[in-house]
Structure 1
Amino acid sequence: MSHNTIALNKQQQPLDHLDSVWLFGYGSLIYKADFPYMQCKPACIYGWQRRFWQGSHDHRGTPQAPGRVLTLIEAPGARCAGMAYEVTPDTFEHLDHREKNGYLRVFTELHWLGEPGQTQGLVYLASADNEAYLGPDTDAAIAAHIASSAGPSGPNSDYLLQLAQALRDMDEQDEHVFAIEQQLLKLLK
């Protein structure tokens, strides 16, 4: 599958018939909401975990030297916390462009943090069959890759450091993110 998924998302997930859609963010969408939204609240999804296994050719790297950003990997029993945004369907014009590098929109069950309830929402996932997928590596190798990458949205290290801080601000633990952050901080000294 091509890493540019804009047309595929529009074709597979038309949203015009909806008044609003909940969007779940688990990476940069937690700390960088550069789109209008009606409301925002902490949420989680079950059965998924964050992994720095996706290449970024357009934001935190270049086509010649992609950075590493997050995707979600299925993991029975896992819980992934993030932010949910209620948006209008036209907001996906911007979001599909922002998340075009191998990500497909998928509906999933969102569970609110700190309050009862759940709802259906969309999440962007980049699976192993997209051209930008980099796959697993050691924490040290991922940190070294992140330390040496930059793109139009800035240094790849900023993505990781801002995410780690946003998770701490939410009182959330993520062993994968924090282990790579620890390795990155050693390299940046």
Structure 2
Amino acid sequence: MNAPLSSHGLSTGSETDTPVWVFGYGSLIYKVDFPYLERRPAHISGWHRRFWQGSHDHRGTPEAPGRVVTLVAEAGAVCVGMAYHVRPDVFAHLDHREKNGYVRVETALHFDDGSASEGLVYIAAEDNEAYLGPDTEEAIARHIARACGPSGPNRDYLIGLADALRQLGADDPHVYAIERHLLALT
């Protein structure tokens, strides 16, 4: 995948083998299937996590996509997640894992100790083919309840994310409301 970077041009380090920070805000928080040098809780500003991206390859199928998170820009918003310091060779795996509409974008990462660094985040913008867009949290929960793909039931993705966010002490009303609606269905 030829994933574009922002105009700032942060390198993935492939020319120099320099490690790069990657920010995870969805399954990258709790499903770490790649090597990393360091892992730290972090947040990015100006973005909200939303279950507005379709998943045709992991939590759904092309005929019945699941719903996974992407980021939506909003002034003043803060998105809590996990940052990983990785070597550039990890991007081959991550680009494949995040192939369903996501591109790498440069962002400023803020760590819990008050320090900051430039890094990369995968975002699926509304102009990608798998984008499903907004809906009510109840409707999103019903969608998630019936979706399943090669990586398993979509509900496992939601529950795993909600649990991981609680462990980070993150307040995410969108995710927790969808989880409440999903649990009420079962």
TM-score clears 0.5:
yes
CA displacement 1:74-115 (0-9 Å, x = unmatched): 0100100000000001100000000000000001000002x0
Deviation at 1:10, TM superposition (A): 7.0
Pairwise CA distance, 1:9: 1.1
1:3 is aligned to none
Q: Which residue of 2 aligns with 1:143?
A: 141
Q: Does 1:9 align with 2:3?
A: yes
2:4, 2:78 → 1: CA distance? 28
> SS state of the match for residue 89, structure 1?
coil
Per-residue deviation at 1:116? 1.7
Identity fraction in percent: 61
Say which SS state the counterpart of residue 43 (structure 2) adopts.
strand
Unaligned runs of 5+ in 2: none
Pairwise CA distance, 1:11: 8.8
Partner of 2:171: 173
Structure 1: segments with no counterpart, 5+ residues? 1-5
Task: Choose from 151, 157, 160 the match for 1:159.
Answer: 157
Q: What's the Cα RMSD here? A: 1.4
Between the aligned partners of 2:117 and 2:64, the Cα distance in structure 1 is: 38
Matched with 1:54 is 53
Structure 1 segments, 4+ long, off by >3 Å, are 10-14
**Superposition TM-score, scaled by structure 1 size:** 0.93
AA partner of residue 83 (structure 1): M
Structure 1 residue 185 corresponds to structure 2 residue 183: yes
- Whose helix proportion is higher, 1 or 2? 1
Matched residue, 1:76: 75
Secondary structure of 2:21's partner? strand
Distance 1:99 1:41, change over 3 A: same
In structure 2, give the amino acid aligned to 1:122.
L
Output the CA distance in 2 between the equivalents of 1:171 and 1:119.
Answer: 21
Asked if the contact 2:55/2:67 (under 8 Å) is kept, the reply is yes
